[in-house]
Structure formats: structure tokens, C-alpha cells
Structure 1
Amino acid sequence: MDIASKIQQLREELHQHNYNYYVLDQPEISDYEFDIKLKELQELEAQHPELYDSNSPTQRVGGQVTKNFPTVIHDFRMYSLSNSYSKDDLLDWESRLKKQIEQPISFVCELKYDGASISLTYQNGQLFRAVTRGDGTQGDEVTANIKTIKNVPLKLKGTDIPERFDIRGEIVLPYEGFAKLNAERIEQGEDPFANPRNTASGSLKLQDSAEVAKRPLQCLLYNLTGTKLPVTTQFESLQKARDWGFDVPNEAKLVHSIDEVIEFINYWDEARHNLAYETDGVVIKVNNLDQQDELGYTAKSPRWAMAYKFKAEQVSTVLNTITYQVGRTGAITPVANLTPVQLAGTTVKRASLHNADQIEKLDVRVNDHVFVEKGGEIIPKIVGVDFTKRYQDSKPTQYISTCPECHTELVRQEGEALHFCPNTKTCPPQVIGRIQHFISRKAMDIEGIGGETVALLVNADLIKNYADLYILQKEDVLPLDRMAEKSAENLIKGIEASKQVPFERVLFALGIRYVGETVAKTLAKHYQSISALMQATQEELTQVDEIGERIAQSVVTFFKDNDNQLLVARLQKHGLQMQISETEKAKQSDRLKGLKIVISGVFEKFSRKELKDLIETNGAKNTSSISKSTDYLVAGDKMGPSKLKKAEGLGVKIISESDFLELVQE
């Protein structure tokens, strides 16, 4: 046997043994025998570097050092899940589903693993990359670290594997491994880790993959994502993933009613304590993929899935002081500073008190013994007071009347839950917060500058607003703490590059209250330029699709302010994009103005995103579900039969991808 064949044979054997041990839990050889074969392969690969394979079993030991984790755009967005906490929530969800789906609906119940979300991309049957969830649209590539996790297949088994697809899952640290890891740290004189979830999440961003390899992480997988997948249901996709070599937990169950869902939840609310890893709930998904497609998505979550969260753990501790934080919009948030207490695996020192009404409702006072929960197992919050332990001389909490930062008198508008500091011009947290929003990823996305750097620039009196960024010189920022020559150059280059950011994102970056990404996009498309938008009246703004009174009033108020007018003028002078570019204008038309269009299925010439962009740039509105007001259904391959039937029943015109393109070109 030649060397290449020997190396390939060893790789195949070791891949299979890894799968037997870490996925099936059915080892066929001893650890010693495995190590001997691995060492032999390492020696052969070292002698023949021309036969290198990035997915060889030897790559699992780590050793690659990654100083910067590149940001990667997900092929398919990673949505968050809507949460429910009661049977009534689930029944309401089922009612909403049945309004859109006429056929019987089955569900798949899966455990909700408490770890770090990951998206694995496979190409030609091999691991291509691994990307963290990030903001759902883009995340950090951590492929070298993920390769060290033994139950992540580097090469897939079986047949009918798509050329390229994603599989989503959760990186977890089992209890046993976590305890062993902490015991080793204590023995070495290091502080123990707080909880498995945070340790798993932090492990993904370690720079040395050899250190990641030392941690007994596992990857539990639960969702295939891609086009032309060889499955028609979620439950089938879980089995298909198992066939390909993925570690898919067997607890998932196919059920046919919400009552069966509740049975599953009740069982695992108790049985979860016997599992090897942390879970915090159950995820319920519509089983039929065509029905999932018909149900579609909201801006943040799939309509076809729901997370049921187990009742949060509750503890009692002492509230020592109440402090107040100021956000970028001037909103005041009261914070309870607590005697540290363990809650759901983490040490909690602070909890939100939300607003003055909540403090009054609960009658929360300093020195009270309070009950603390984690809302959705994430954000600690005070849910009650132990009145049996209240001191006799206790006095009701007096909500502050002036800003804790600039001492301006607070205001509270009618119908608002929060108090606000009206000093938007010089109140430090508001100044810093607005600039941090301006430079953020979804706004100007200025490379080389982060939130901490913004605070340093403001505190050093180098900038007072976001327009000041564009007059900074390298010499200005070099004296800042931890600012090296290269960092200073990158900061200035990042600011200069931001001048090419399109108008809709510049508009979002201005930080106008209630003007989020979607609203900014709508306004930019309608008014085409900042000057036209600035001249619009409140009445005119409300005539724009999806712009209500509150948004309109906020926009008019922002542009009436003399200081804001000056800021916009300065940004224009510095060369920022304050109107739709000619390239974008050339793409736009009113050919489909006023139409509501639904797309469904898989298409040959364009991706679904490209088709949706075409719909919007030609004046129509994308909608996810079919109704009487739908004008066209653009039908692709593998479109759900229920969606087709509903369109036919309502008399909606059904057209092909080619028909749609002709419609656009007319």
C-alpha cells in the first residue's frame, strides 16, 4: 500500500472510531489503540505535508492560533425564538397557526439546550466552516476551535448529502466535564468557572485551539438549513442528520396535539435533571416543512416554532442600594444592587427594577429581602419582597427627580413608563450612547472603533458628537489609552471608509427615536434624500406606508432642532451619503407600486433574498402569508401544497419566477 493510501485508510478508520465513541457511545477499540493509530497518522502527515487535509482527525488536537475571528455573513439568517411560559400561550400559538394552515398540524418537541449557538456549514460532505450566532445575520468564524470538538463530524457518512448546507446546534459543556475542569483549575490555583453555559460560550473565542481541545465540549445538533434538502419534515431531518454522522439527541418526539406537547413538557421539566447537560425549556416546531414555509417569519422569529421556558429558578437576597442608569435616548433605568447570590449557575449582583411604577407596585425598598428570578433564564429581575423580614424603620423608595449624570430635572411624558433626562446635548451617557449607536455594525459599521474607544474619545474631550469623528486626526487619538500607531491608523481609515455607507444606514445611524433599520429603509426609499425628508410635515410622513403618528412626530421633532440641523449639515460637508445613490436609483421603479407579493419555494435564477429585494426596489411589498389582499404568489419548486391551495381558494394570481421577471421588466 502506498503512503497516500495508508494515510487515507488511517483517516477513515479514526473518523469511524471517533463517531463510534463520541456519537454512538459504542467504542470498538481502546483509548490506547486509538492513540497509537492517531500518532502513526500524525507522523506520516508530518513526513508528507503535500498530503495535508484540513479535516484530518489529527486536526482535532488543536494548535492553530487565531488572533482575530473574521466576521462572516450567514448563508441563512439565524432567527431567535418566541418564548412561552404557559399552556395558554401554546394554545394561543396553535390558534394563530390554524388561521393560516387548513390541514392537520403535527409538532416536533425538542429539548432546548443551554449553551452557545453555532452554525456549521458543510460543503461536498466535509466541514467547511463554523460560525457563531452573532446578531443572527452575521457571526464570528471559529472553525479551528470547533474542529477540536470530538462529536462534530469533519467528514460526513452516507448518501444523498447536499453539495452545501448548514446545520445549527448548541455547543454545551456537560456537568461531569465542567466539574472535572473546575477541579483542575482549583488544583492549579486558578478561579473556577461560574457555569457550563458561559464556559462553553467563552471557549469558542479562545485564541489557541489547543486550549479548546482540552475542554470536554459537545455539539448537539437540531436543524438542517439549506436549499433542495432531501427531507420534507423536521422529524425526518433529525434522522437524516443522524444518518450523516451528526450527534442529534434522541429525546425529540413527534406529537399531534398541544396536549401531547404539554405531556412532553411536564415529563422533561422533571426528567431534565437527569440529563448530562443543562436544558432550560422545550422547543416546539411545526413538523411539515411546507407548512413552515407557508407560515414564514416575523422580523425576529419563525412563526412555526415556539420555545417553552421552564419556570425560572428563584432565590432570596438583600437589596443594598438602588442606582439609576441613563441610556442613549435619555431613558432612566433603576438598578437594584444586591448581596451576591447564586442563581441558575451564575453569581447575580444586580437586577433590573424596570421603572418607577414597578418599584411602587412591588413596594421595593433598600435593605429589603427580595426574590430574584432570571427573566427567560437570562436577565435577573426582582419579582417580589419578603415582607416578613422588612425592618420597622424602612421607608418607601423615592424615585429620583434629577438626572444622576448631569443633574437635569427628569421628565415623564403621559403614557410613558420611563422617566427621561431631556438634556440630550451634554448628558455624558446620552452623548456616548448616540455615538456608539452611530458607529455600530448595522449603522455606519466603522471598523477600528468600538464602544470603549468612543467613551475614551468623549472623556478626552476629542469629540462631542458623531460629526466630530470626521475631523479626527491620527495624532489626536494616539495619546489614548492602549492606542498604538496601527490602531490609530485603522481608526482613521475606518471613519473615512464609512463615507461610502448607503443613505438608509446613515439615516438609521442618526439615532432618531423610533426610527429603526426597517423604518429608515422605508423613509430613505420614499424621500430619496435627507433634504426632502427634513422638509416633510408630520401629516405627509403619516401618508408613507407603515409610518404612524409617533414615528412621524419624532422625525419632525428631530429635524426641527437647530443642533440636529447643524449635525446633518456637517455630515453632508464631510461627504456622507445623504441621498439614494444613482446606482440604487437605477434599480428602483414604481412598476409594482402598491402590490402585495408572496414568494414561496425554491427558485432557479435568483435566491429568495434577491427576489425580495427586487420586489421592494420596484415598489411592491413583501408579505409572508397569503390573504385576500395578496396580489401575486410567485411560486417556485417545492412550494407547500397548502399555500398553493389557499392562493387558489382566494383567487390570488399565481405566477412563476419567469412571469415575475417579465412583470418587473414591463
Structure 2
Amino acid sequence: MSDPTSPQERIKTLTQRLHHLNYQYYQNDVSEVPDQEFDHMLAELQALEKEFPEFVLPNSPTQRVGGTVTKQFPTALHRYPMLSLGNTYSEADLRDFDERVSRGLEGAEYTYVCEMKFDGVAMSLTYENGELTQGVTRGDGTRGDVVTNNVRTIKNLPLHLRPAPNQPTEFEVRGEIFMPITVFDELNAEREQNGEALLANPRNAASGTLKLQDSAMVAARRLRFFAYSFLSSGRTFPTHSASLEALKAWGLPVSDTWRLCHSINEVLDFVHHWEKKRFELPVATDGIVIKVDDLRQQEVLGFTSKSPRWAIAYKYPAEKARTRLNSIQYQVGRTGAVTPVAMLTPVPLAGTVVKRASVHNANQIAALDLRIGDMVFVEKGGEIIPKITGVDLTARPADSEPIKYPTECPACGTPLIRPEGEAHFRCPNDEGCPPQLKAKLEHYVSRKALNIDGLGTETVGRFFDLGLVRTPADIYDLTAATLTGLERLGEKSINNLLKGVEASKQVPFDRVLFGLGIRYVGETVAEKLAAHYRTIDAMAAASAGELAATPEVGGVIAESLAEWFSDANNRELIERLRAAGVQLALTGEPPRAQSDRLAGLTFVLSGVFEQHSREELQHLIQQHGGKITGSISKKLSYLVAGDKMGPAKREKATELKVPIISETDLLAMIPSDLEAEDDVAGADADTLSLTGDPTLTAPADSAAEPGKQGSLF
């Protein structure tokens, strides 16, 4: 008999109690205990788990606070493909859909389930024995990113389900992870106050949050989840609506906005009911999903090559409003691009009050013939900053004049330039324009660059405003004495920040190169350049022509690099970073090719592959002497086709008579480890026989197997 006072039993009791309280709070809106008591139990559980880690349960409620740091996300194949829905924007199309369903079911009676189409991130969750074991993003529909640690932080998502007699041992739940509108508004208000770029919409914010490496940061974003479908290997339920009821009974959050409709007229009533009312919901929505309810009838109707015949999405038209254009503000970005933003008389639009709208560039101002004082039409299609789509010329003041785009930088007064072929005017004062300098610092410390712990974009921006840092090299001159006494920086924060700065000296060269913010040098280009030149000195010594010959680096990027390295200030920056100990070269020996079996061959990879990720296949090709390119030409040796390969590449390869091979064919060309050791230098890879036909077609889109339970969405 177990001892109820033992640490193991106490951990078990607290875990069960906290799971129950979470369920009551997030599913039933019931607070059974005061917040203080809940926090006390959670703190007790955390303390016990720290002292007795061997007794921690797999889905402990303490995991919701995050704390796991992931350097990269592995990928996983979806057991059931996450396919897309066909979209429509008219009632006539919905009636046509209904007629197709009726014909497909040969006059049998049928009903629909109508659900709100939440504007978030589609997620596939796996439960085993009632425990959440995996969370995978939609990805390309066949393979997605495994973000389980981040998903566990979502407080209304149960880590442990309520038991039920008909609950399968293992099943999948599909649903939408979203950022509540209030949380999104708070986050954007904070970013605006800090001078950061606003997030476009709650959907993008949720997507970006799920890709954060630190799950504690994910927990702070307060994401939420709604389940909308169930999948398992057997037939557990007769209808989709029955599965929704079961999911809710098991403790999963299911929005109560769905309705069972017995005719297309009832469907249209549902569509009309939510056209305006949807803005009262705590989550952004962009339409209605209509599904045939009976799962056997879904199987009868089947799929087209792209989407199911038993489901469709109705999209609401973008909301529009009419208001006055009061002024234009001009914002300067990291690369010097000057972007105009229209300041408007506040107007209600799609559930929010709109005060400004995107104008993009001088070309759009001219195309719309915008004038200060105009009554303009603004449209909001899910974006937080709507766009101006037109002008009410009947209300234009008689004395209005066309807007004159500034000729000088609004931040530093430097004359603007407009490079040939570009839409944006730019400020060329990249060494003295404050917004550019500040944005470059923020880019340098960002997660994908140096990722300096304790020195985020807000803090480095504040240091810039205080005059403490002006270039990335200045960051390495910061000391405890410099930072002591600054507001909101205690001793612990200063120590953590300086440790983060010191740790950034070990960040690999390719990320340092990306962090320098050279125009057109993104993550992938930085990685290619670092791998090719190995050191920043070799790269700086290369001519524009030599740089352009680097794989996947074209003339525009090469010219930008050559211009950057020719600047004396940038050369000084490199020397200061070198003196600070920042990595400006790849360490270790260059990777040695395992064989030259693919020497002289070039490959394009397209689609999703079963046995390896695309990056793994690229590495294998390069390790055996082959080259990767991104475009199809007559000089291409092979197009390697995976699932979901784009039709355009297939058509061009066929037209140019480029052989199309499968992943299996490619792997057959690569020797095993033992063969690679014995491979004779200079072996002619062209003599290898391929198992695949040169006109091999990619695998067809897969649908759920007969008998598999539930919707694919």
C-alpha cells in the first residue's frame, strides 16, 4: 500500500489536482480555488519535482511555465496528411458545392457541420493513453516541425485527458493555436512603445511564437488552442459532430460556435449570423468551414487532387471603411529604406479602431494620387495595419495638392537616393542615421544572429538612446561599471547580460556574417559564403566577380558585399570584432568529401522526402562531390522529385529533357560508408545505372486510408 505522505504520492496528488483545476478554469470558467492557493500548490509541486526529479510525471502542470531551450526543431511525418480546403467567397459557390455533394451521395440525406475558421496555426497533437506526447505543425502538409515543448505551455490545452470508455489508446487531434486579440494588442502596444516594428496580425504572431527556441518566452505569449477534428486508426465515431462532443468531454477545448445544419439554407443562415458577430470573439476569424457530418459519406465523396469533396471554406470579404487622410509619416528602416505610413482619422474597422494604414512607397502614393485631407477607402484583410485602396474623389477639397515625397531623410536630413529599378527611396547615411544604426544593432543581437542572452532588441535600443553603443563592436566594450545604476538593470541582470555578451563570442561565423546586416545577405546566403570562403578575410579580398561565382550568390549580392567590404568603417568594425574575440572564421578543417561519386553532377531538390530532410540530402550530395542549385536549366544533371513537388519544375525539367529521379534513385547513386572508403578517385558517376525512369512522376497526394477516423483538418 502506497504511503500518501511520501514525496512520490504527493507529486501524484498535486499533479492530478492541478490538472483538474486547469480543466475547470479553462473549459468550464469555474475557479474552484483562489489564485493564491493554486499558485501555492504549483510552487509546492515545483519544489518537490526539483528535489525528487525521478518522480516527475510526463505531463506535469509545471511544464506550462516553459523553460526548455531548443536549438532546432526536428521534423516528423504526418501519419494522416494535413491537406488544404478549397475556398469560396460567394453564396452561389456554396450552393454549387451543395449540389455536388447531393449528386455524389446520389440523393441520400446528409447534414453539415459549420465551424468558425480561426485565423491561427494548424496543429496536430498526438495523445497516447490520455497523455499529450507530440505536437507537430502543418508544415507542407506531409511533414511538419515538432514543437511539443512549446505546445505544452498552452494553458487551455490539457496535457492529460479525462478518461472515457470510448477513448482510443492512441489518436490525433487537429486544431488551431491562436493568439487572443487582447494579447496581440498588448504585445503590439509594447512593441510600438519600444519603437519596434508592429506584428502584422495575430496569425503571424502565433506562428512566430511557436518557432521561438525558448519555451518560457512561448508561455509568456499566452497562446490558446481550439480543437476541430479527431483522427484514429479505427472507427470510433459515426459523425464528425459526435467526435467534437467527445473531444470536449475528454477535456479538450472545442469552440461552442459550431452548429449542425440540415440544409444549405441553414448553412447560409450560419454564415450571415457570424458575418459581424465574429468580431465579438476573442480570436481572429476569416470565414466558415463547412463539412459533411457523416464520416462514411465523407469516404464516399472522397477527394480531388487538391482538396476533399466533402468540405469547403467560405471566406468573408475583406472589411472596408472610409476615413480622412490627415498626414503621412516617413519611417527609416535598417537598410535606409524610407517607408510612408498614412495617419488617419480613427475609424472602426473589422472589430478594431484603425488609426493608420500602409502606403508602401512613393509609387503607390502617385498611383492612388493621394492628397492630405482626402477621404480614403481602407481595407483590412486580417492585417493590423490596413492598406489604402482608393480615394473618394467626390469629397476631395478643391485646393488639395499632390503629396510631395521628401527629398531628405526625415531622421538625419541626408539627401535621399532612389537606386535604379527600386521602388523605395533610401537614406545613404548608413554610418550616421540614428534609425539605421539602431536597427542594425537590434539585428545583430537578434535570435537568428548573435542571440545575445540578456541583450534583446529593447535593451540594445535603449543602450543606443543612452549613447552606450553605436556599432556592434561597442557591445563588447560594455562593463559592469558602465551599466551599474541604469534603470531596470540590477546586479543579476547586468551579470547575465555580460555573460551573454561573452558567450556570443562563440557564435559560429555564418551567424556573425548574417548579424552584420549586409544588404541581401540573409541566413542562407551567409551560410553559403562562410562555407565557401571559410574566413571573413578571404571573403573581403575577393572581387565582385569572384563573389558572384559562389554557389547561390548572384551579381546583386556580390556587388553589395564588395561595396560593404570597401568601406573603411566596416573594415574597422571587423578589426574591432576580431579584437573582441568574435568568430570571423569557420573553425576546424573543411569537411572532406566521402567520395567523388557525384563529381561533375548538379542536382535540384523539390518536394518533401520520406527518408531524409531536404537539408540532409543536400549534405549527402555535397559530401560525394555533387553540387546543389536552385534553378532548372539544360546544364542540370538531375531533378530529385519528392512528394508535393511543384508542377512548374516538373514541366520545365521535362521540356529540357532533364532526368527526374526519386529519393531512392539518388541514394542508390551514393556509395555506402564502406564503398566510399574504397571508392577510386575519378570514378565516373555517369556510368551508374538508375532504377528510376527519367520521366518518373512524383508520388500522388495521399488521402486518409479507408476506415481511418475523422477529418483531415
Alignment gaps of 5+ in structure 2: 34-40, 90-113, 183-200, 259-264, 292-297, 307-311, 677-713
1:181-196 aligned at under 5 Å gives the runs none
Q: Cα gap change, 1:660/1:149 in structure 2, threshold over 3 Å: closer, same or farther?
A: same
The Cα of 1:369 is off from its aligned counterpart by 2.0
1:652 corresponds in structure 2 to: 661
- Find the residue that maps to 2:671 and give its secondary structure: helix
Supply the distance in 2 between the matched residues of 1:413 and 1:112 (Cα, whole angstroms): 43
Query: Does the aligned pair in 1 maintain the 2:66–2:218 contact within 8 Å?
Result: no
CA shift digits 1:245-268 (9 cap, x unpaired) = 66678999xxxxxxxxxx999998
Query: Does the aligned pair in 1 maintain the 2:227–2:254 contact within 8 Å?
Result: yes
1:490 pairs with one of 493, 496, 508: 496
Q: Cα gap change, 1:519/1:375 in structure 2, threshold over 3 Å: closer, same or farther?
A: farther
- Give the stretch that moved more between structures: 410-419 or 151-160: 151-160
2:458 pairs with one of 448, 452, 460: 452
Q: Cα gap change, 1:149/1:656 in structure 2, threshold over 3 Å: closer, same or farther?
A: same
1:146 pairs with one of 128, 131, 154: 154
1:522 corresponds in structure 2 to: 528
Aligned residue identity for 1:652: I
Supply the distance in 2 between the matched residues of 1:615 and 1:237 (Cα, whole angstroms): 46
1:662 corresponds in structure 2 to: 671
1:465 corresponds in structure 2 to: 471
Q: Cα gap change, 1:482/1:11 in structure 2, threshold over 3 Å: closer, same or farther?
A: closer
1:350 corresponds in structure 2 to: 356
The Cα of 1:318 is off from its aligned counterpart by 2.1
- The answer to whether 1:373 aligns with 2:379 is yes
Q: Cα gap change, 1:490/1:310 in structure 2, threshold over 3 Å: closer, same or farther?
A: same
Identity rate of aligned residues, in percent? Answer: 39
CA shift digits 1:181-239 (9 cap, x unpaired) = xxxxxxxxxxxxxxx969x9799999999998xx9x65235699xxxx969xxxx9999
Q: Cα gap change, 1:549/1:144 in structure 2, threshold over 3 Å: closer, same or farther?
A: closer
- Find the residue that maps to 1:481 and give its secondary structure: coil
Query: Does the aligned pair in 2 maintain the 1:133–1:139 contact within 8 Å?
Result: no
2:697 corresponds in structure 1 to: none
2:177 corresponds in structure 1 to: 170
The Cα of 1:495 is off from its aligned counterpart by 1.3
The Cα of 1:546 is off from its aligned counterpart by 2.4
Supply the distance in 2 between the matched residues of 1:641 and 1:133 (Cα, whole angstroms): 17
1:340 corresponds in structure 2 to: 346
- Find the residue that maps to 1:655 and give its secondary structure: helix
- The answer to whether 1:567 aligns with 2:567 is no
The Cα of 1:333 is off from its aligned counterpart by 0.8
The Cα of 1:340 is off from its aligned counterpart by 2.0
Supply the distance in 2 between the matched residues of 1:493 and 1:173 (Cα, whole angstroms): 35
- Find the residue that maps to 2:569 and give its secondary structure: helix
Q: Cα gap change, 1:46/1:580 in structure 2, threshold over 3 Å: closer, same or farther?
A: closer
Q: Cα gap change, 1:592/1:207 in structure 2, threshold over 3 Å: closer, same or farther?
A: closer
Query: Does the aligned pair in 1 maintain the 2:330–2:341 contact within 8 Å?
Result: yes
Supply the distance in 1 between the matched residues of 2:618 and 2:502 (Cα, whole angstroms): 31
Q: Cα gap change, 1:458/1:222 in structure 2, threshold over 3 Å: closer, same or farther?
A: farther
Aligned residue identity for 1:485: E
Q: Cα gap change, 1:332/1:137 in structure 2, threshold over 3 Å: closer, same or farther?
A: farther
The Cα of 1:655 is off from its aligned counterpart by 3.3
Normalized against structure 2, the TM-score is what?
A: 0.61
1:264-303 aligned at under 5 Å gives the runs 270=272, 272-273=274-275, 277=281, 278-281=284-287
Supply the distance in 2 between the matched residues of 1:528 and 1:124 (Cα, whole angstroms): 50
- Find the residue that maps to 2:322 and give its secondary structure: strand
1:131-530 aligned at under 5 Å gives the runs 146-149=154-157, 153=161, 158-159=167-168, 161=170, 169-171=176-178, 219-221=226-228, 270=272, 272-273=274-275, 277=281, 278-281=284-287, 310-530=316-536
Supply the distance in 2 between the matched residues of 1:210 and 1:427 (Cα, whole angstroms): 34
The Cα of 1:484 is off from its aligned counterpart by 1.2
Q: Cα gap change, 1:347/1:641 in structure 2, threshold over 3 Å: closer, same or farther?
A: closer
Please tell me the root mean square deviation across aligned C-alpha atoms, in Å. Answer: 6.3
Query: Does the aligned pair in 2 maintain the 1:150–1:218 contact within 8 Å?
Result: no
Aligned residue identity for 1:400: P
Query: Does the aligned pair in 1 maintain the 2:597–2:669 contact within 8 Å?
Result: no
- Find the residue that maps to 1:424 and give its secondary structure: coil
Q: Cα gap change, 1:387/1:630 in structure 2, threshold over 3 Å: closer, same or farther?
A: same
Aligned residue identity for 1:75: P
2:132 corresponds in structure 1 to: 127
Supply the distance in 2 between the matched residues of 1:526 and 1:423 (Cα, whole angstroms): 31
Supply the distance in 2 between the matched residues of 1:662 and 1:405 (Cα, whole angstroms): 59
Supply the distance in 1 between the matched residues of 2:538 and 2:159 (Cα, whole angstroms): 57
- The answer to whether 1:585 aligns with 2:601 is no
Supply the distance in 1 between the matched residues of 2:266 and 2:555 (Cα, whole angstroms): 45
Q: Cα gap change, 1:642/1:595 in structure 2, threshold over 3 Å: closer, same or farther?
A: closer
Supply the distance in 1 between the matched residues of 2:435 and 2:83 (Cα, whole angstroms): 31
- Give the stretch that moved more between structures: 44-53 or 312-321: 44-53
Aligned residue identity for 1:405: A
Q: Cα gap change, 1:121/1:65 in structure 2, threshold over 3 Å: closer, same or farther?
A: closer
Q: Cα gap change, 1:657/1:354 in structure 2, threshold over 3 Å: closer, same or farther?
A: closer
1:75 corresponds in structure 2 to: 74
Query: Does the aligned pair in 1 maintain the 2:641–2:661 contact within 8 Å?
Result: no
Supply the distance in 2 between the matched residues of 1:377 and 1:529 (Cα, whole angstroms): 42
Query: Does the aligned pair in 1 maintain the 2:604–2:639 contact within 8 Å?
Result: yes
The Cα of 1:445 is off from its aligned counterpart by 1.1
Give the total of aligned pairs.
Answer: 566
Supply the distance in 2 between the matched residues of 1:353 and 1:110 (Cα, whole angstroms): 35
CA shift digits 1:152-205 (9 cap, x unpaired) = 94779744737xx89562247699xxxxxxxxxxxxxxxxxxxx969x979999
The Cα of 1:533 is off from its aligned counterpart by 1.4
Aligned residue identity for 2:337: A
The Cα of 1:532 is off from its aligned counterpart by 1.7
Supply the distance in 2 between the matched residues of 1:463 and 1:47 (Cα, whole angstroms): 43
- Find the residue that maps to 1:545 and give its secondary structure: coil
Supply the distance in 2 between the matched residues of 1:210 and 1:528 (Cα, whole angstroms): 39
The Cα of 1:558 is off from its aligned counterpart by 0.9
- Find the residue that maps to 1:523 and give its secondary structure: helix
1:593-632 aligned at under 5 Å gives the runs 594-597=602-605, 601-603=609-611, 610-616=616-622, 620=626, 629=636, 631=638
CA shift digits 1:570-603 (9 cap, x unpaired) = 2222222222221663588876453445686543
Supply the distance in 1 between the matched residues of 2:221 and 2:423 (Cα, whole angstroms): 47
CA shift digits 1:22-73 (9 cap, x unpaired) = 99x9xxxxx99x989xxxxxxx9999999985758xx6xxxx6977755544
Q: Cα gap change, 1:617/1:557 in structure 2, threshold over 3 Å: closer, same or farther?
A: farther
Supply the distance in 2 between the matched residues of 1:511 and 1:208 (Cα, whole angstroms): 26
Query: Does the aligned pair in 2 maintain the 1:503–1:578 contact within 8 Å?
Result: yes
1:91 corresponds in structure 2 to: none
Query: Does the aligned pair in 1 maintain the 2:547–2:558 contact within 8 Å?
Result: yes
Supply the distance in 1 between the matched residues of 2:421 and 2:412 (Cα, whole angstroms): 25
Q: Cα gap change, 1:496/1:138 in structure 2, threshold over 3 Å: closer, same or farther?
A: farther
Aligned residue identity for 1:126: E
1:553 pairs with one of 547, 559, 581: 559
The Cα of 1:241 is off from its aligned counterpart by 9.9
Supply the distance in 1 between the matched residues of 2:473 and 2:221 (Cα, whole angstroms): 43
The Cα of 1:76 is off from its aligned counterpart by 3.4
Q: Cα gap change, 1:457/1:368 in structure 2, threshold over 3 Å: closer, same or farther?
A: same
Q: Cα gap change, 1:388/1:616 in structure 2, threshold over 3 Å: closer, same or farther?
A: farther
Supply the distance in 1 between the matched residues of 2:244 and 2:73 (Cα, whole angstroms): 20
Aligned residue identity for 2:74: D
Query: Does the aligned pair in 1 maintain the 2:133–2:148 contact within 8 Å?
Result: no
The Cα of 1:392 is off from its aligned counterpart by 2.7
The Cα of 1:418 is off from its aligned counterpart by 0.7
- Give the stretch that moved more between structures: 269-278 or 448-457: 269-278
